[in-house]
Chain A
């Protein structure tokens, strides 16, 4: 199986294939009637069922249709019918169903209808049905926009089948045809989605993941839509009828294996088979075509006009000028930009909500001193712009949110906005929402494929992990000491991202606690003292930790690991098999250097051998160099990983490479006492 790290993005513009004749779509479609459960359904056969399948989704059938409503517009009618075989108690959770319904603005409330649910048990060869008691349906408001409906099915036993179906009607609010997932944590034997769209709307369908459709067809058919305009005090109500060729699509995946998350996987969601819908254009008549998905030029210019996006930058925001004067007093150019950046980063609190759209006016954000990601980064941009700097927003998709298309302007794919600052010929990318990130640095999560500059020239901005290198070095000098035996000076220069983690962990650095923590990393034969830290709070620089170690040789033969506590003890790729590609967080450049005086009264008896191994020619390298004489000994260990994404077929190589490192770094130097 060859999986690309990027999903295979295929576009189907429904209107262009409006005349394509549908396959006889019902020919091999099993008939799923609610309640029609046969004894054979309890023992399904499929290549994707194995002894680890706690449950099997026998059928997951969904559809979305449009219908005219009584408010002068359309409803989206979403229907779902699901049938699950619960093979053992580990899957009892599947008998509890939770449904989220929109309940924010009254005119757009979701309406839940037609619930049927039942449990089936096979008793003496007979299928026995137990229906859900509708009083066992619970409704709960979970926040200001959503409520949750919950029910749990009765009479659940190992080997039972649960089945439910319901309808949700939602007033149409542009582009909310639900995404359909063909995969779940259980094997799915039959998953289908059918969508019928009135002639006014054109959708782009975006299938994702790597499973193939068993059926995939589109066709058009004559539909009539009746809409009641209720009128108001001055106009009477009216019924309008529209008719024309509605377009339908039908997608089926058979025998979908369960989806499983693995470590080192950045965008798990990209690998799940699903189909996403994006409204492309609206056409009420031939003279009135409104494009929803546009080219990047138009999209960028529309964004800049949006109240919750570019508006913040549309005027000079004179009200902030006097405060900014105080903040930036005596500075100019780059120094001034840094002052403003640090001011926003340190004085505004990010509530953690990742979005590209602001939630409040700039003034409000300024008053509250907090906001979402967009609120804070637009505050930064507005302040920089106010002081005459050249800034533009950059939208991007963070880790876990999927990799955005390099071509099409699908705004839904972006969940974050940062600031691009230009000073002379230099360009900086700034994010003021993370308290421990320095000027010109971005949090790791922002590196996820690419971003898009929102400017007159909306350029693609590569933000690949391959552009990140975590550079780390450890330097150790060990010398004989009159009183103590051996004393070592350790200097650890962390990589930038390791520094961020260190800073996050040690918000207030207390040297006694740090010493205790470092002491735990060494064996009890070592005493630790004089721990100090450089650039703990200079966020533009990585952290450096200094420590002093004290130890002694006593025995006639001493076995000494020159890696001290820096050896890699466990292989990070513990699991033997891999289904999906490996995504490493960054490239690695790691050097370890030890210079040591041969302890007084000892001589070197045996040294590990120097060695160098390569990972797939030039994708990585591990080097272990050692040299010693009567007086001194030196060892240099270097690890390079030159790329971040590895295909599943490279997994074994990668695992073996790390296995070799673990082995080599466990080797010992043997010292013998001189008689």
Chain B
């Protein structure tokens, strides 16, 4: 009771001041470029004890136009560790007059499908509080409780690029003796800390932030303000731990895995039968990994602590399925049986390449892989895939920091990144264009690293018919048919694919009267960027790669070149590009190389960068004009 009173005292004056939601009170400068204005926000976190964190979140959005309509939707997930205690919502018209209050029946409560789990205990509460007359304001108050200190909410006041913020507060109350850790992004000062006999209160506040529109290829970590909080000591479902550093967090996670690696006797024998004859550690790992790939499949089941704790290895041995934790744990168990030390690694899977925050240990993972230490050449294993090569991580898990969990605790490790010479596309095409402009081409492409991922999936995750359908829709050629396609996989730590396509395309070359217009660069056109405003944000490029195309086109007899594009060669910090055209006799030869580098580049270099892209785009689309003699 006492705490509640305290809350009112603190927040009372604050809300009283901005209680009117009349749209007239929004300064014009805050409406500029915005679809939505966050009028007020208070995210109030009250840590009661290690098993209870109360959150009171109140906010009001003024929705200026239809583009901001999504902000009328409220959605909150909950599960065994999070309960939603109270939700209220009110819609106000432009003058700030109450239009409607939300009723209980307006709120739906449904299981939350993540799209891949067979079963999970996640549920979601949802409502839509919209009005037909813009602008309008919705005010939401929601109270929820975490029954654990393993999770804590983060403050994310600017949660959209077309959103301005008039005021947002983040308040965290902790009981005496509770140690709170926090990490601020783009918040210039330290939080205010108030200490009393009841504990400590931390507060952050923001005023009058205009919308920050995102730019292409931007790096968002240094743009939006954001604050993460986490405990030192915590509890979840009867398990306790200390997450003040990654070592401690990893130790806790490891304890959830401990003792769950017992294998049935027949499988133990099988492990030795498979791996013992192999001469090296690499070969043993490979053989067991391939056994795993052949004999298990991915099925996700997330219930309670099972969201963090793997099924026992026995379970996987018997049912032949499991989720990422269960399959990784099972793989590690098999390796252990063979006498090879291996570990589970918690990671953030996804193509955005985001790794863990190195100086702020807390729960931030969505995936588990396993790894086998092997001198300088650690072997990384994705245990949920039935097709990927042992040791390959790729776009989904490569090149980022992750947490290895061991009896000694957690260790931050980096998964392998891929260099220019790992990510290749080496293409050679032999083509014939006839006098009607029809093209016949045979193209052989050697792809490796991240450049082979699509071809890999096409061969191994799709059937012949789906493969043909895809190939016949994906190429930017006028009326064409892929007459033949062949793929072969070259497994390895840097996996590769050899692709052979035989394609016919009607009217690839345009014919007008006596002239024939041919674009020799058949397969590889670079994109371009529109550079119409001064660049504000730094540029982030995620991958390294190299493309080499050599295209040989036989043209009909009796034609002579009238116009041949100029050769071009560019070298800069972003990459290296060259293209050359040659016509000799009835043969056109195009050699193109394009090498580009991952990295972060300052906004000031954007014009140079977009010019680079623009020049490549233009050179790639260049035509040779031939005239009939």
Q: Which A residues fall within an 8 A CB radius of B?
A: 51-54, 88-90, 92, 95-96, 133, 136, 138, 140-143, 150, 152, 154-157, 346-349, 369, 507-508, 516, 519-520, 523-524, 555, 557, 559, 569-571, 574-576, 606-609, 655, 658-659, 662-663, 666-670
Contacts and interface: CB of A to CB of B under 8 A. Distances in A.
Given A141-B111, A559-B623, A576-B472, A666 B478 contact: yes
Given A89-B297, A571-B478, A659-B479, A154 B513 contact: no
A668 B299 contact: no
B510 to A, nearest CB: 4
23 contacts: A53-B463, A89-B387, A90-B462, A142-B110, A507-B66, A508-B35, A508-B67, A519-B530, A557-B625, A559-B625, A569-B476, A570-B477, A570-B478, A574-B479, A574-B480, A575-B469, A607-B512, A662-B506, A663-B478, A666-B517, A667-B512, A668-B515, A668-B517
A507 B69 CA distance: 11
Interface stretch (B80-88, B183-191, B314-322): B314-322
Contact of A606 (B318, B480, B513): B513
Given A156-B297, A608-B512, A658-B479, 5 more contacts: A154-B318, A508-B66, A569-B478, A659-B478, A667-B510
Nearest to B130: A349
A608 B479 contact: no
Contacts of B625: 557, 559
Given A51-B463, A508-B66, A666 B510 contact: yes
A667 B511 contact: yes
B290 to A, nearest CB: 14
Interface string B473-486: 10011111100000
Contacts of A576: 472, 481
A666 B519 CA distance: 12
A347 B132 contact: yes
B605 interface: no
Interface string B505-524: 01100111111010000000
A507 B476 CA distance: 30
A659 B506 CA distance: 7
B181 interface: no
A524 B510 contact: no
A152 B299 CA distance: 8
B463 A90 contact: yes
B532 A516 contact: yes
A624 to B, nearest CB: 11
B110 A663 contact: no
A253 to B, nearest CB: 21
Nearest to B295: A157
B536 interface: no
Nearest to A525: B618
A364 B126 CA distance: 21
Contacts of A609: 513
Contacts of A349: 130, 132
A52 B463 contact: yes
Contacts of B617: 524
B132 A369 contact: yes
Interface of B is mostly: mixed
Contacts of B111: 140-142
A530 to B, nearest CB: 15
Interface in B581-629: 614, 617-618, 621, 623, 625
A569 B437 CA distance: 15
Contacts of B530: 516, 519-520
Contact of B119 (A52, A95, A140): A140
B278 interface: no
B562 A663 contact: no
A154 B319 CA distance: 5
B57 interface: no
A662 B132 contact: no
B179 interface: no
Interface string B116-148: 001100000000001111000000000000000
B466 A662 contact: no
A381 B506 CA distance: 54
Contacts of B532: 516, 519
A155 B479 contact: no
Contacts of B319: 133, 136, 154-155
B110 A143 contact: yes
A137 B447 CA distance: 44
Contacts of B562: 557
Contact of A52 (B294, B466, B515, B528): B466
A349 B517 CA distance: 53
A508 B65 contact: yes
A260 to B, nearest CB: 8
B566 to A, nearest CB: 11
Nearest to A140: B111
A88 B297 CA distance: 12
| Residue in A138, A523, A555, A667 with the greatest tally of chain B CB atoms within 10 Å | A667
B386 interface: yes
Nearest to A568: B478
Nearest to A96: B118
A12 to B, nearest CB: 35
Q: Closest 4 A-B residue pairs measured CB to CB?
A: A663-B507, A52-B465, A666-B510, A659-B479
Contacts of B295: 157
Given A519-B532, A670-B515, A138 B119 contact: yes
B237 interface: no
A575 B462 CA distance: 17
B557 interface: no
Nearest to A507: B66
A411 to B, nearest CB: 28
A608 B511 CA distance: 9
B464 interface: yes
A139 B463 CA distance: 33
A573 to B, nearest CB: 8
A664 to B, nearest CB: 9
Nearest to A520: B530
B351 interface: no
A608 B321 contact: no
B529 to A, nearest CB: 10
Nearest to A260: B465
Nearest to B478: A662
A204 B386 CA distance: 48
Contacts of A95: 297
A465 to B, nearest CB: 24
Given A150-B119, A557-B562, A666-B507, A575 B463 contact: no
B195 interface: no
A541 B74 CA distance: 36
A557 B386 contact: no
A559 B563 contact: yes
B31 to A, nearest CB: 13
Contacts of A569: 476, 478
B512 A606 contact: yes
Given A346-B132, A576-B472, A156 B321 contact: yes
B215 interface: no
A52 B66 CA distance: 46
Interface in B544-599: 562-563
Interface in B57-79: 65-67
B358 interface: no
A138 B302 CA distance: 12
Contacts of A570: 476-479
Contacts of B476: 569-570
B609 to A, nearest CB: 15
Nearest to A572: B479
A574 B512 contact: no
B472 A574 contact: yes
A152 B321 contact: yes
B507 A662 contact: yes
Contacts of A157: 294-295, 320
Given A154-B321, A155-B320, A574-B473, A670 B512 contact: yes
B461 interface: yes
B501 to A, nearest CB: 14
